[in-house]
């Protein structure tokens, strides 16, 4: 069985912890593991391979975190633009044998009752082997208005799907006992799903097939869909495209202690607490404060006489919200997108395929970064129209390409890159290369990069 892991997401609901280029599934929130890593650990008990469907700008985060888990037999499907879950799953299934059973999971859900989860998977597998499309219905514990619902009948049959209800309707669902939260977890044979997609959403099937046939094969493990073909696939969810239309759908009731960690309020419920019901944080000094979510690991956070608040502190942004209002964080992100800032998009420390960079200073006219390049990695061959760069090596040895010259610079040595020069930074050594970069120019934004050649096909 293959675990298709959907790794899309723009990082809006848990901002400023989560950003577009570091979405919540890759943030290490639980015992130094990310939700993505917990998903892989949990599902690898029944699946012998992982198929990661990811944005082309984020897949290297999955590679790094799978390496930490020592997981092999990983494949990657890279999307240049998101078209929702139906095309993502279709493209992955097209790459697999039609008889392969797939477990489709988001990468950002938390499931704490793994013993019951494994029992649920076993039943789902039985139903999937009978050529059914299986969804998992979470046993509701309260009248939630933020989830869709599935009505069941005759044990595993699906009677109907319902959109997010109002509170009164959600209460009636809870009392009825045969309504379940729609989890976004699925299991089926790859070929059965493709046949049902072709039957009920032919345009998505046709465009997905054409995109797959024109894919770029980067390696045996990595497939990349071109922007030209991906962008014309109709955008739709698996629920609308297939599940709500097919007569082959089954639902398995799942009492598995599940959460989609869809807001800071839901995150608060899952984190360990102190004696005053504040989330545990060694950086927090609390006086007469209770029932608060306090997150931050950059500096001390002192709280006095506060209750029922969410305080999220990162190196470049601070969020303070009343508990119960954290769904409005998306509105903050929308406002940030309308301003001249990268705060919604990236942290001061940004993970890249070749390593990372940290912004140390950023004011009009110049920017200072610490750049870390992993052994054997290199940045793209590139140039800039609006800035020059001065590199100082503080650890390791850098291989520098500057126009038609290629040379080494060692610790405490430096080099200068003029505006417009074609250049590259590379680490051919066996230890991390650390460089301090000073950018000088009228514009120092990350989009002032013209890539000439790039190992990561960005």
| pLDDT tens readout for residues 81-90 | 999 999 999 9
| 236: in domain | yes
Does residue 58 surpass a pLDDT of 90? no
* Cα–Cα distance measured from residue 303 to residue 292, given in angstroms and rounded to the nearest whole number: 10
Residue 340 counted as domain residue = no
User: Where does the pLDDT of residue 57 fall: very low under 50, low under 70, confident under 90, or very high at 90 and above?
Assistant: confident
Contact (CB, 8 A) for 281 and 263:
no
Q: Are strands 2-6 and 101-106 parallel, antiparallel or unpaired?
A: parallel
**pLDDT reported for residue 20:** 87
Q: Quick one: pLDDT at residue 456?
A: 83
Whole-number pLDDT of residue 146? 87
Are 288 and 255 within one domain?
Answer: no
Q: How many CB atoms lie under 10 A from the CB of residue 184?
A: 21
Mean pLDDT of the chain: 94
Q: How confident is the model at residue 406 (pLDDT cuts 50, 70, 90)?
A: very high
Whether residues 249 and 282 share a domain: the answer is: no
Domain count, the chain: 3
* CA 129 vs CA 100, 137, 189: distances in Å: 10, 19, 7
**Secondary structure in 3-state letters for the chain:** CEEEEECCCCCCCCCCCCECCECHHHCEEECCEEHHHHHHHHHCCCCCEEEEEEECCCHHHHHHHHHHCCCCCEEEEEECCCCCHHHHHHHHHHCCCCCCEEEEEECCCEECCHHHHHHHHHHHHHHHHCCCEEEEEECCCCCCCCCCEEEEECCCEEEEEECCCCHHHHHHHHHHCCEEEEEEEEEEEHHHHHHHHHHHCHHHHHHHHHHHHCCEECCCCEEECCHHHHCCCCCCCHHHHHHCCCCCEEEEEECCCEECCCCHHHHHHHCCECCCCCECCCCEEEECCECCEEECCCCCEEEECCECEEEEECCCCEEEEECCCHHHHHHHHHHHHCCCCCCCCCCCEEEECCEEEEEEEEECCEEEEEEEECCCCECCEEECCCEEEEEEEEECCEEEEECCEEEEECCCCEEEECCCCCEEEECCCCCCEEEEEEEEECCCCCCCCEEEECCCCC
Q: Clarify whether residues 253 and 275 are in a common domain.
A: no
For the residues 227-243, what does the mean pLDDT come to? 96
The Cα–Cα gap between 220 and 75 comes to: 8
Q: Please give the average per-residue pLDDT across 216-221, as a whole number.
A: 78
Bridge partner list, 398 = 409
Q: Is residue 366 part of a domain?
A: yes
Q: pTM for this structure? A: 0.88
pLDDT attached to residue 178: 94
pLDDT for 367 equals: 94
Mark whether 269 and 249 lie in a shared domain.
Answer: no
Share of the chain above pLDDT 90, in %: 86
Is 156 part of any domain?
yes
Q: What is the pLDDT of residues 130-148, one digit of tens each?
A: 999 999 999 999 999 989 9
Instruction: Clarify whether residues 171 and 203 are in a common domain.
Output: yes
pLDDT of residue 40: 97
pLDDT score, position 155: 85
Radius of gyration of the chain (CA): 24
Q: What is the CATH number of the domain that holds 168?
A: 3.90.550.10
Residue 315 lies in a domain: yes
**Alpha carbons 150 and 161: distance in angstroms, whole number:** 5
One domain for residues 71 and 29? yes
Structure tokens at 9: 């997401």
Domain end, chosen from 225, 259, 293, is at 259
Which whole number is the average pLDDT over 255-265?
94
303/240 same-domain check: no
Final residue of a domain: which of 293, 328, 363? Answer: 328
State the Cα–Cα distance between residues 92 and 76, nearest whole angstrom. Answer: 9
Confidence (pLDDT) at 216 = 86
Tell me: pLDDT of 8 over 90: no
Q: Are both 117 and 234 inside the same structural domain? A: yes
Answer yes or no: do 154 and 270 share one domain.
no
In a domain, 177, yes or no: yes
Q: What is the mean pLDDT of residues 261-271?
A: 94
Indicate whether 52 belongs to any domain: yes
Residue 348 structure tokens: 């001061």
On the question of pLDDT at 218 being above 80, the answer is: no
User: In this structure, are residues 326 and 311 in contact, taking their beta carbons and an 8 Å threshold?
Assistant: no
The residue-averaged pLDDT of 85-104 equals: 97
Of the pLDDT bands very low, low, confident and very high (cuts 50, 70, 90), residue 458 is: confident
User: Which residue, of 239, 259, 279, is where some domain finishes?
Assistant: 259
Residue-level pLDDT at 221? 87
pLDDT surpassing 80 at residue 220 = no
CATH assignment at residue 443? 2.60.120.10
Residue 56 has pLDDT above 90, yes or no: no
84 and 229 share a domain?
yes
Identify the weakest region by mean pLDDT among 151-165, 213-227, 291-305. 213-227
**Bond into 16 cis (ω within 30):** yes
Q: What is the structure's pLDDT at 305?
A: 97
Please give the pLDDT value at position 341. Answer: 82
> Confidence band (pLDDT; 50, 70, 90) for 235?
very high
pLDDT, average across residues 334-342 = 88
Q: Based on the domain organization, do 211 and 112 belong to the same domain?
A: yes
Choose among 109, 117, 105, 121: nearest CA to 34.
109
Residues 185, 234: one domain? yes
Asked whether residue 442 is domain-assigned, the answer is yes
Which residues form the domain of 58?
Answer: 2-259
Q: How many CA atoms lie within 13 A of 57 on its CB side?
A: 14
More confident residue, 35 or 21: 35
pLDDT at 409: 96
């Amino acid at each position: 069985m293959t675990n298709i892991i959907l790794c899309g997401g723009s990082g809006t609901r848990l901002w400023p912890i989560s950003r577009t280029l570091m979405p919540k599934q890759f943030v290490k929130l639980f015992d130094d593991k990310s939700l993505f890593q917990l998903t892989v650990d949990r599902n690898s008990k029944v699946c012998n391979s992982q198929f990661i469907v990811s944005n082309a700008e984020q897949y290297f985060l999955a590679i790094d975190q799978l390496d930490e888990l020592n997981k092999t037999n990983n494949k990657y499907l890279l999307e240049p633009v998101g078209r929702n879950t139906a095309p993502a799953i279709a493209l992955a299934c097209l790459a697999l044998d039609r008889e392969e059973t797939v477990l489709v999971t988001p990468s950002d859900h938390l499931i704490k009752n793994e013993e019951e989860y494994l029992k649920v998977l076993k039943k789902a597998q039985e139903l999937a082997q009978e050529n059914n499309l299986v969804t998992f219905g979470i046993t509701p514990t309260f009248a939630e208005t933020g989830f869709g619902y599935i009505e069941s009948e005759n044990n595993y049959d699906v009677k109907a799907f319902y959109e997010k209800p109002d509170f009164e309707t959600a209460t009636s669902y809870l009392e009825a006992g045969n309504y379940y939260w729609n989890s976004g977890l699925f299991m089926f044979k790859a070929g059965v799903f493709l046949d049902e997609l072709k039957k009920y959403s032919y345009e998505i099937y046709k465009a997905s097939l054409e995109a797959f046939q024109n894919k770029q094969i980067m390696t045996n493990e990595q497939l990349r869909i071109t922007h030209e073909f991906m962008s014309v696939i109709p955008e739709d969810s698996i629920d609308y495209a297939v599940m709500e239309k097919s007569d082959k759908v089954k639902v398995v009731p799942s009492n598995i202690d599940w959460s989609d960690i869809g807001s800071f309020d839901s995150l608060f419920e899952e984190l360990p607490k102190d004696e005053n019901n504040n989330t545990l944080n060694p950086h927090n000094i609390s006086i007469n404060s209770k029932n608060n979510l306090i997150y931050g690991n950059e500096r001390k956070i002192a709280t006095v006489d506060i209750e029922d608040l969410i305080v999220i502190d990162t190196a470049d942004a601070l969020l303070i919200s009343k508990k119960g209002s954290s769904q409005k964080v998306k509105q903050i992100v929308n406002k940030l997108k309308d301003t001249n800032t990268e705060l919604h998009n990236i942290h001061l420390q940004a993970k890249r395929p070749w390593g990372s960079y940290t912004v140390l200073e950023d004011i009009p006219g110049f920017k200072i970064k610490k750049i870390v390049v992993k052994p054997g990695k290199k940045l793209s061959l590139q140039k800039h129209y609006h800035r020059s760069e001065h590199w100082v090596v503080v650890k390791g040895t850098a291989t520098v390409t500057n126009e038609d010259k290629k040379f080494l610079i060692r610790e405490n040595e430096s080099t200068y890159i003029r505006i417009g020069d074609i250049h590259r930074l590379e680490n051919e050594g066996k230890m991390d290369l650390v460089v301090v970069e000073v950018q000088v120019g009228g514009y120092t934004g990350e989009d002032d990069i013209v890539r000439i050649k790039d190992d990561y096909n960005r």
